[in-house]
Amino acid sequence: MKNYTKKNILEAQLEELVRRQPNSIEEGLKYLDHQMHTSGGRLDVLLVDSGKALVVAELKVIPDDNMLFQGLDYYDFVTTHIETIARLYKNQSIDPTQPVRLMLIAPDFSQALVNRCKWIEPRVSLFSYICLQFEGDEELLPIFAEREVPEPLEAIQIPHFEDHLKYITDDHVRTMVLDLLEEAKSWKPGAILLDPIKYSISMKVNNRVFAYLSARRRFFVISTYNSDLQWKDFPVKTAEDLASIKITMKASMESRCKSIA
């Protein structure tokens, strides 16, 4: 493997990387525009996701709590003018009935910002990044990772299973989720409880959580305990991913049962 170094970049460079490689942030994400004039300033990057929803992306190259408030200003502008924007980019199949998304991209986020995001509706997507440069190559390789936003202590609305399923745009992935939920009930009949909460479906055995299932546009994430009893997130995109994570989920479930005993 070639040697590489981590590189600090300027905001203009980050913007260019996001414009050129939006699919490396989230599968199905497409670039629409950048530095769009709004009443609150210039919007960094405007994208559209695989569900045809507009995505307002606010970028920073250093951790900055103010980016949340800037992003909300741009979100407000885009939401207010969503029909005009959909007509302006009529070849991009934007669905103006879909709620606009807000995405923050930075090297890292303070815990204060993460905590604020859990109380905000609309849902805020947080992506951290690092940039690598390999020896003998002038190109920068950005690596993006989604940061989970914790659940608020009190749900404002009563969520339903259908809310999570509708968020998934890939029919095959939706079928995998349905099959997994149905199968999970049989692991310990009468002891498994599946409970839809705001952004996830909690999975409990004897009223103790052993996993969360979180829907994404074209995949889903299982959060559970790994073999070292550490809480980890596992993206599931294929049947092979699902087969592997089911083993981990069952082990986590059994460990929760033993801890009760």
Looking at residue 47, its pLDDT comes to: 96
Indicate if the pLDDT at residue 154 is higher than 70: no
Amino acid 155: pLDDT: 47
pLDDT surpasses 70 at 151:
yes
Which of 58-62, 64-68, 160-164, 248-252 is predicted least confidently? Answer: 160-164
Domain chopping of the chain, boundaries: 4-147, 161-260
Alpha helices in the chain (DSSP H): 11-20, 66-80, 82-88, 111-117, 161-167, 171-187, 239-260
pLDDT in tens, 73-109: 999 999 999 999 999 998 888 999 999 999 999 999 9
- DSSP for 34-66 reads EEEEETTEEEEEEEE-TTS-EEEEEE-SS--TH
Instruction: Check pLDDT > 90 for residue 193.
Output: yes
Distance CA 154, CA 134 (A): 46
Mean pLDDT for the stretch of residues 124-152 = 89
Closest residue by Cα to residue 14 from 143, 149, 147:
143
- Higher pLDDT among residues 119 and 157, named by residue: 119
In the chain, pLDDT over 90 holds for what percent of residues?
77
Tell me the mean pLDDT in the region 196-200.
90
Q: Which CATH number fits domain 4-147: 3.30.390.30, 3.40.1350.10, 3.30.530.20, 3.40.228.10?
A: 3.40.1350.10
pLDDT, one tens digit per residue, over 16-55 is 999 999 999 999 999 999 999 998 899 999 999 999 999 9
